[in-house]
Each structure stands twice: as structure tokens, then as C-alpha cells.
Amino acid sequence: MKAENLQALVDYRMQRAAETLEEARLMQNANHWNTCANRLYYAAFYAVSALLVQDGRTTSKHSGVKALFNRHYVKPGIVSKENGRLYNQLFDLRQEGDYIDFVFLEPETVAPLVEATAAFIHTIQSLLQ
């Protein structure tokens, strides 16, 4: 991929991360906690996928993105273990809220993750520069 196309893709994914974080805040304000968790996960996912693509790493599965992120950024200490745990938690909550019947995520679980995810995205943005 040409450098300008690569940068356009990275920029697009970071824009999606920001927009999706805003969607999560809207869902938080409406007390839609399952959807809020979903949007938080996707906001983080878009940021992580921007980082991966910038570094020439791709995968077609969400579990692959998680594995690559943990292997190449968390394990070597480029990203903190705390941020690694946050991404894994968002992944798990999204799976639970989206695919398991009769799951109603609690505000006490999801609400603190909104600003944590915003900080996570900011961390990824700083790695992209």
C-alpha cells in the first residue's frame, strides 16, 4: 500500500474511533449499557486496527486483532498492561452483551470504561505520531 493510502486508512480508522466513542457517550447518557459497551469496544478496536495497519499487521478477525495487540504492543511494554487489560475487558463485555441472551450490563461496570476508553484512544493516537 502506498504511504499516502496507508496514512489515509490510519486517519480514517482514528476518525471512526472518535465517532464511535461519541456514540458510546450518547448510549451512556441514554442508559443503554449493552450498546454503550459495544460502542466502547468498537472505538478501541478502530484505534488498535489503525495502529496495526500502520505497522504492517493485519488480520480479518477480532480475536486476531486482540492477539496481535497483546503480542506486539502489550507484552513488550509499548502499551501498558492496564491498557491491555482494558482492551481485553472491552472485547469480553462486547461479546457478552451482544451474543449472550438475557445479559444486561450494569452501569457500575460500563460507565467507568467510557473515560478509560477515551484515554486508551489518546494513548494509541500518541503511538501513531
Whether the model clears a pTM of 0.85, i.e. scores above it, the answer is yes
Delineate the domains of the chain, giving CATH numbers in brackets: 3-128 (1.20.120.330)
Whether residue 1 is predicted with pLDDT greater than 90 in this model: the reply is no
Q: Per-residue pLDDT tens for 15-55?
A: 999 999 999 999 999 999 999 999 999 999 999 999 999 99
What pLDDT is attached to residue 3?
Answer: 78
DSSP for the chain, written as a single string:
--HHHHHHHHHHHHHHHHHHHHHHHHHHHTT-HHHHHHHHHHHHHHHHHHHHHHTT---SSHHHHHHHHIIIIITTTSS-HHHHHHHHHHHHHHHHHHHSTT----HHHHHHHHHHHHHHHHHHHHHH-
Q: Per-residue pLDDT tens for 84-125?
A: 999 999 999 999 999 999 999 999 999 999 999 999 999 999
Q: Per-residue pLDDT tens for 44-97?
A: 999 999 999 999 998 889 999 999 999 999 999 999 999 999 999 999 999 999
The answer to whether the CB of 75 falls within 8 A of the CB of 91 is no
What pLDDT is attached to residue 2?
Answer: 81
